[in-house]
Amino acid sequence: MDSFHEPYTRAGDDISLDAVRDQVRALEDSHKAHGVQLSGRIVHVCHYLPVVPTLISHLSPTAAGVLSPPPSPPTLYGDVPESPTADAAEAQQSQQPSVPSRRWNFAPRYGHAAMISGIRSLSATHDQLIVGWTGDILSLPSAGAASAEETGGSTGSAEERIPSHLVSQADREAMEAELFVPVWLEDKVAQGHYEGYCKTTLWPLFHYLLWQDVATEYASVDAHWVHYEQANQVFAERIASVLKPGDLIWVHDYHLLLVPKLLRSQVGEKGTDVIIGLFVHTPFPSSEVFRCLPRRKEILEGMLGANLVCFQTYSYSRHFTSTCVRVCGYETTTRSLPSSIPAITSSALTHPVSGHPDHSQSSNFSDNKYIGIDVQGHIVSVSHCPVGIDADRVARDTLRPGIQPKSESLRALYAGKKIIVGRDKLDVVKGVLQKLRAFEKLLRDYPEWQGQVVMIQVTSPSLTDSPKLERQISELVAHINGEYGSLDFIPVHHYHQTLKKDEFYALLSVADLAVITPLRDGMNTTSMEFVIAQERTERSPLVLSEFMGISQHLGQALHVNPWDLGDVAAAMNAGLLMSSTSKAARHAALHKVVTTHTSHTWAALLVKMLLSQINGQTTARGTPYLPKEHIKDKYDGASKRLFLFDYDGTLTPIVKTPAMAVPSLDALNALTKLTSDPRNIVYIVSGRDQAFLEAHLGHIKHLGMSAEHGGFIRDPSNGNGKGKSTAAADDGDETWVNFTAQLDMGWMDEVAEIFRYYTERTTGSHIEVKKSSITWHYRASDPEWGLFQCRQCQDLLENNLAHKRPIEVLVGKKNLEVRPLAINKGEIVKRILYLNPDAEFIFCAGDDKTDEDMFRALHIFSPDTTGKARLAPPLSVTLVDNNHGLTQPDVELAIASDAIFTTAVGPSTKRTLASWHVTTPEEVVGHMLHLVGETSQGAGGVVVAGEEAKSYM
> Active-site residue numbers?
646
List phi, psi (to 5°) of 708: 55, 50
What is the number of other CB atoms lying within 10 angstroms of the CB of residue 703?
Answer: 24
CA distance 720 to 289: 59
Cα distances from 709 to residues 164, 331, 684, 828, in angstroms, run: 60, 22, 10, 8
CA distance 642 to 661: 24
Angle between helices 665-676 and 921-931 (to 10 degrees): 40
Q: How many CA atoms lie within 13 A of 315 on its CB side?
A: 20
Helix H or strand E segment including 843: strand 841-846
Report strand pairing: 248-252 vs 275-279.
Answer: parallel
The gap between the terminal CA atoms of the chain, to the nearest Å, is 33
CA distance 131 to 179: 10
CB 123 within 8 A of CB 102: no
Pick from 523, 343, 269, 529: which is nearest to 421 by CA?
Answer: 529
List phi, psi (to 5°) of 150: -65, -35
Cα distances from 132 to residues 50, 234, 345, 512, 570, in angstroms, run: 8, 11, 35, 41, 45
Cα distances from 97 to residues 81, 106, 118, 634, in angstroms, run: 18, 8, 17, 63
Q: How many CA atoms lie within 13 A of 846 on its CB side?
A: 29
Helix H or strand E segment including 827: helix 825-835
DSSP lists the bridge partners of residue 420 as: 455, 513
Helix H or strand E segment including 25: helix 17-33
CA distance 481 to 466: 23
CB 316 within 8 A of CB 384: yes
365 Cβ contact list (under 8 Å, min separation 6): 336, 337, 338, 342
CA distance 698 to 721: 16
Q: How many CA atoms lie within 13 A of 927 on its CB side?
A: 28
Q: Can you list the positions of beta strands (E) in 76-121?
A: 104-108
CA distance 255 to 407: 39
SS3 content of the chain, % helix, strand, coil (to 5): 40, 20, 40
DSSP lists the bridge partners of residue 277 as: 250, 308
What is the DSSP-derived secondary structure letter of residue 743? S
How many degrees, rounded to 5, is the angle at CA 215 between CA 212 and CA 220? Answer: 85
